[in-house]
Amino acid sequence: MSELLKNIIRFILLILLQVFVLNKVMLHGFATPYLYLIFILLLPFGTPTWALMIYALLFGLCLDLFMNTPGMHAAACVVIAYLRPFVLNLLSPQGGFETVKKTPSVTSMGWTPFMTYAIILVVVHHIVYFSLEFFDLHNILLLLVRILLSALVSLVLIVLYEMLFAPSRR
Amino acid sequence: MRNLIIFIRRYFNFFLFLVILIFCLSLVLRRNDYQRTSFINSANSVSGYFFRKYNNIQYYFHLKKVNDSLASLNANLLNQLPVDFASPDTTSAVQTDTAGKRQYRYLPAEVINNSVNGLMNYITLYRGSDQGVETGMGVVGPQGIVGIVRRVSPHYAVVMSLLHKDMSISAKLLNTGNFGTVKWKPGSSGPFYGILKDIPKNVAVHRGDSVMTSGYSAIFPPGLLVGYIEKVNELSASNFYEISIRFATNFRSLQYVYVIENFKAKEQHDVESTLPHE
């Protein structure tokens, strides 16, 4: 299957999964998992930054359409799309990642770099999204608790996603 | 000039990032505008279609609860029929002529999307401007009040739920008539609790007392149930209580609600707006 088709399917399925399943989940009144941002994490290595940001914008706006959060998910997605190349650069070994595998994943990067990459972007995304949702700082403790717990749950789901769907090394 | 072009090309990604980010933030900041309709909301036909499909399935899991709440609402209404009130005096009866005096009308509506997990929760209804829904109308469920309509499209309406951090409604105590404001208390307690403020400390309040709408705002008629008092906090530095209340409405299982049309809302607003603002 071509990468383009794969990403289109992932785009649609992740939005439906997020809107109809994960948004209904709330653990202990604090943590809602946001798995959808794995779409941006898994875009191919070679995608130019401007294209990453346009995809992130479209993806975020589609989510906002369903969730009545105009601009919030879009802003958070665009921020991590912009940061993605920098983070990948920092983590890439000398000579870059194996280019045979075209997308970032556990198999193409290895567990430690991939998890560092995911943790940085998930935390940044959650900070941007929850700050926009709260929009004031007088409840900063609740804000931090929500960011940390939600990021934790989202990361667990990302690991599960990777274990299920990551291309196996041959 | 050439340097400028080189400069822009070099930092093209950064500028594009700024432009997109400013666009997103302007959407975020405009969300509180009452009049300007943002196109990013779930009162559009695409997401409305998906939510309706989803709701058709999910609906079956709540049938029992929906039936129970509708049956109890029916029983309430039946108990208010004139035949229930026998009078020993059959020679003279008071005729209540309500023609021309109706102030509120209730429009039934189906809930097709509902969120309780965020800080700003909205409810989407399958009933819009073509069926008489307008922004600013109150929404009440079988158990108690639910929210206020914020956006309408021809067939859908988006309701700002009581579970929204910017929502506050005017409420009063059923027993004493003192009024205050009710706001949702987000946090670990989930979608069940709110805070009633501005009740002075000389008023006797007890756990379990009913809190009703006050009817001052032209959105809700007076006497609709908001919730019950759960706990009374006496703040030492203030003359007012901070009362935590449990909402009457179970927001997790909303299926049918009623949109309240107030025929005299415009008249009330008009006469109130003639007062000079000092």
For residue range B116-138, list pLDDT tens digits in order. Answer: 877 788 899 988 888 889 988 99
For the segment B172-180, the average pLDDT, to the nearest whole number, is 88
Q: Label residue B96 by pLDDT band (50, 70, 90).
A: low
For the segment B66-92, the average pLDDT, to the nearest whole number, is 74
Residue contact A26–B116, C-beta within 8 A: yes
Given CB atoms, is B239 within the 8 Å cutoff of chain A?
no
Contact B171, B139 (CB under 8 A): no
pLDDT tops 90 at residue A121? yes
pLDDT tops 50 at residue B36? no
Whole-model pTM over 0.80: no
Average pLDDT of every residue of chain B: 82
For the segment B54-70, the average pLDDT, to the nearest whole number, is 81
pLDDT tops 50 at residue B254? yes
Q: DSSP strand E in chain B: where?
A: 104-114, 120-125, 138-140, 145-152, 157-164, 168-173, 179-184, 193-200, 210-213, 225-234, 240-247, 256-262
ipTM greater than 0.85, yes or no?
Answer: no
Q: What is the chain B residue with the closest CA to A68?
A: B41
Nearest to A74 among B24, B44, B188 (CB): B24
pLDDT tops 70 at residue B141? yes
Distance from CA of B187 to the nearest CA of A (A): 6
For the segment B180-206, the average pLDDT, to the nearest whole number, is 83
Among A68, A89, A146, A153, the strongest candidate for a mutation testing the B interface, having the largest count of B CBs within 10 A, is: A68
Distances (CA, A) of B193 to A35, A168, B5, B7, B184: 29, 49, 57, 55, 6
Q: Within a 10 A sphere around the Cβ of B227, how many other Cβ atoms?
A: 25
Residue contact A32–B118, C-beta within 8 A: yes
Average pLDDT of every residue of chain A: 84
Residue contact A32–B189, C-beta within 8 A: no
Q: Pairing between strand B193-200 and B240-247? A: antiparallel
pLDDT of residue A97: 66
Given CB atoms, is B21 within the 8 Å cutoff of chain A?
yes
Q: In terms of residues, how long is chain B?
A: 278
Pick from B247, B269, B253: which is nearest to B68 by CA?
Answer: B253
Contact B231, B189 (CB under 8 A): no
